[in-house]
Amino acid sequence: MKNLNIKQKSPSSLCPAIFELSGALCGMDAIEFKKRLLIYLEEFPNDVALDLCGLNDIDLAGINVLAMAYKKMKQYGCQLEVIISAQTNVLHMLSLTKMDRFLPIQMRAAA
Q: What is the CATH number of the domain that holds 82?
A: 3.30.750.24
For 90-110, how does the pLDDT look when each residue is reduced to its tens digit (9 = 90+)? 999 999 999 999 899 999 876
Q: Give the domain extent around 22.
A: 4-108
**Angle subtended by helix axes 60-76 and 89-96, to nearest 10:** 70
**Angle subtended by helix axes 27-43 and 60-76, to nearest 10:** 10
pTM over 0.95: no
Domain count for the chain: 1
**For the residues 75-87, what does the mean pLDDT come to?**
90
Which band of pLDDT confidence, cut at 50, 70 and 90, is reported for residue 111?
A: low
pLDDT value for 83: 95
- State the CB neighbour count (10 A cutoff) for residue 88: 19
